[in-house]
Amino acid sequence: MGKESIHTEKAPAAVGPYSQGVKVGDMVFVSGQMPVDSKTGEIVEGDITAKAEKCMENVLAILAEAGMTADNIVKATIFLTDLGDFGQVNEVYASFFKDSYPARSCVEVSRLPKDVTVEIEVIASK
């Protein structure tokens, strides 16, 4: 079973030796997405809800390139630099799902790349 790199201009380009996503069989592994605008390369303005929303939009753009949607997400991991933001991020995150939610972990970390406050990665399956 081979692997295929997923790339879309609708999400920020990888800034290191990694792919936006990797497809293996019926599964897609999306790298952690930060609240970065793919057109400008800049971190989006606004509060934690705007930043979490942009993270999810970037995740979904990569999944769309692989022919998947939020309904295909089976596992998500959310990284926050302040667990006090959990409630607001949780509300934004929940708004991207219709019926059943994927498995999820949420952890507080001391720092994230570009000093962002939130990053989200997912695993999806057809």
Q: Six-digit token pair at 29?
A: 């592994």
Instruction: Give catalytic residue positions.
Output: 106
Residue type, 4: E
Determine the Cα–Cα distance for residues 41 and 30; give it in Å rounded to an integer: 18
**What is the enclosing helix (H) or strand (E) of 63?**
helix 48-65
Q: What is the DSSP letter of 82?
A: -
> What is the SS3 assignment for 106?
strand
